[in-house]
Amino acid sequence: MRQTIIVASRKIEYDLKNEIYYHYQTLPLEFYNNNNTGDLMNRISEDVSKVRMYLGPALMYGLNITILILMVIPFMLYINPTLTFYSLLPLPLLCISIYSVQNIINKKSEEIQKSLSDLSIYVQETFSGIRLIKSFVREINFTKVFDKKSEKYKSISLKLQFVMALFFPIVMTLIGLSIIITVYVGALEFFKGNITIGNIAEFLIYVYLLTWPVTALGWLTSIIQRASASQKRINEFLNQKTNIISKSNKILNLKGKIEFKDVSFIYPDTGIKALDNLNFKVKAGESLGIIGSTGSGKSTIANSIIRLFDINKGKILIDDEDIRDYNISYLRKQIGYVPQDVFLFSDTITNNILFGCQNEDFNSVLEAAKNTDLMRNINSFPKKFETKIGERGITLSGGQKQRISIARAIIKKPKILILDDCLSALDTKTENVILENFKKIMKETTTIIISHRISSVKLANQIIVIEDGEIIESGSHKTLLNNKKRYYKTYNRQIEKNKQELNIN
């Protein structure tokens, strides 16, 4: 029975975790904006474990209890109903006591889990931001906060141990009481001639057999309640469906033509209008520079092209087809995207570059590294390309992380390449080297360069200036300078700033 039920429950747990994990990845960004990471992790770990406890141990012991009760109690009633009644009298009280104490234990355990989770998150944040903490000399302050959180965890843990300390004596007392009553009432029945001494011994064995099942009833009831609550929490997420779906599920090889037609988008969480009747075209193989101040809607354009969300109004066309008609996965595979917020995995440089294209060989990694001016940095590392870069790339500088992220995108040889302000951490010399290398890549790829620095977008065939989600200027670098409007003023301001920095250096 254990081999069948417990093994089956473990396999169900495995399937359920995989199902939830896969389902998480299908949900849109809006879902992640509304739910914190800790809650997502708890539902895939703690809640699934509670459901498994119901499907495994609870089911197994439930069958065990049912079979024992159906077999033992009829025998006891057949021998002597009076002795049966008194022998079993403390057992319901035992069941209720265990149920009550178990609920207290469960609540305390959940409090401990929350406290431990809070402690773990704080420690993770501390070590992730250790450079900042050291630079601001905040070690003592963080230690004090950690002490408070540790004290809270210790206090809750001690309260749980106090309840546990009472739990076992109560159980043993009630079991002992049942045995004493059985012997006492059995003796009375023996003197009356209703039973034999052998029957008393028999009843003691029956009471012993029933003690664990009755004790387990309270435990099982608690498990069932917790599993029910956990399954509801799991279903809340499993029932949520993504709104990013394909209408026609077209699988087409892209050429790279992009067109925005009266595109508007309002962020549902904040109500901020990010795009307002936006219109522009990019021919296949050409490049578009997008420049604007912070919050002007530049990144929203990038995210809408790869369908991290759907626009509220208008159409986005790729090769004259509505992007909502494309198969989403196939569309994204043909787009190289370098986000503003660079994320690297705690793995080797090679594996981080190969992340978006597992089929490529080392020569492709080498070429991507050369095109992003990474070689001089990689050659300085003892293990070269096999250097592990630490959690979120903590061992690298901002510029190095950005270049690995760019290499990750271009190794795919995408038909559309989107660079979302990914050159901001680079010095002017490195930026120019990368942009020069990009000239040959941009000949075959539709490239969108998003930046607040004109030096990054000036090579583009067409440049648009965005402000509050609207295009206020458009044209080539030379045309926009001749217009002497916003672009011209920004250019002069950045040139002046660069001169001042050179003088300071």
Going by pLDDT thresholds of 50, 70 and 90, the confidence category of residue 367 is confident
**Fold match between domain 2-238 and domain 342-413:** no
**d(Cα 294, Cα 94) in Å, to the nearest integer?**
66
Better-predicted residue by pLDDT, 391 or 142: 142
Cβ partners under 8 Å of residue 504, min gap 6: none
Distance from the first to the final alpha carbon of the chain: 77
pLDDT at 234: 84
What does the pLDDT look like over 184-223, one tens digit per residue? 888 888 888 888 888 888 888 888 887 777 777 767 777 7
Closest CA to 94 of 184, 170, 207, 185: 170
Q: How confident is the model at residue 455 (pLDDT cuts 50, 70, 90)?
A: confident
pLDDT at 225 over 80: no
What are the Cα distances from residue 339, in Å, to 228, 292, 409?
Answer: 41, 16, 10
Hey, where are the domains in the chain?
Answer: 2-238, 342-413
- pLDDT above 60: residue 501: no
Q: Write the pLDDT tens digit of every residue in 301-360.
A: 888 888 888 888 888 898 888 888 888 888 888 888 888 777 888 788 888 888 877 666
For the chain, what is the mean pLDDT?
81
Given a cut of 70, whether residue 20 has pLDDT beyond it is yes
Q: Please, which pLDDT band fits residue 503 given cuts at 50, 70 and 90?
A: low
Give the pLDDT of residue 457.
Answer: 82
In angstroms, the CA 439 to CA 434 distance is 9
Which of 137-146, 389-398, 455-464 bottoms out in mean pLDDT, i.e. has the lowest? Answer: 389-398
Dist. CA 448–CA 337, nearest whole Å: 10
* Higher local confidence (pLDDT), 6 or 434: 6
Mean pLDDT of all residues in 38-61: 82
In this predicted model, which residue has the larger pLDDT, 458 or 416? 416
Architecture in CATH of 2-238: Up-down Bundle (1.20)
Q: In whole angstroms, give the CA distance from residue 105 to residue 111.
A: 10
Contacts 24+ apart (CB under 8 A), 119-123: 119/146, 119/149, 119/150, 119/153, 121/38, 122/146, 122/149
* pLDDT on residue 394: 64
Report the chain's C-alpha Rg in angstroms: 34
Q: How far apart are CA 315 and CA 411, in angstroms?
A: 29
Lowest mean pLDDT among 349-358, 391-400, 486-495: 391-400
CATH architecture of the region 342-413: 3-Layer(aba) Sandwich (3.40)
Quick check: 253 and 334 in contact, CB under 8 A?
yes
Q: What digits encode the pLDDT tens for the residues 78-110? A: 888 888 888 888 877 777 777 777 778 777 777
- pLDDT higher than 60, residue 64: yes
Mean pLDDT computed over 128-134: 76
Q: Cα angle vertex 171, ends 165, 173, to 5°?
A: 100
In contact, 155 and 148? CB cutoff 8 Å: no
pLDDT reported for residue 360: 67
- Averaged pLDDT for residues 130-152: 83
Token pair recorded at residue 49: 């474990």
Q: What is the pLDDT of residue 320?
A: 87
Predicted local distance difference test score (pLDDT) of residue 473: 86
pLDDT at 482: 86
Least confident of 126-130, 149-153, 187-191, 394-398: 394-398
- Position 504 pLDDT exceeds 60: no
pLDDT over threshold 70, residue 425: no
Q: Is the pLDDT of residue 231 over 80?
A: yes
Q: Which residues pair with 290 in a beta bridge?
A: 450, 464
- Inform me whether the pLDDT recorded for 427 exceeds 80: no
Query: Alpha-carbon distance 239 to 98, whole Å?
Result: 35
The fraction of the chain above a pLDDT of 70, given in percent, is 94
High-pLDDT (> 90) share of the chain, %:
0
Could you read off the pLDDT of 252-297 as tens digits, one per residue? Answer: 888 888 989 888 888 877 778 888 888 889 888 888 888 888 878 8
Task: Determine the pLDDT at residue 138.
Answer: 80
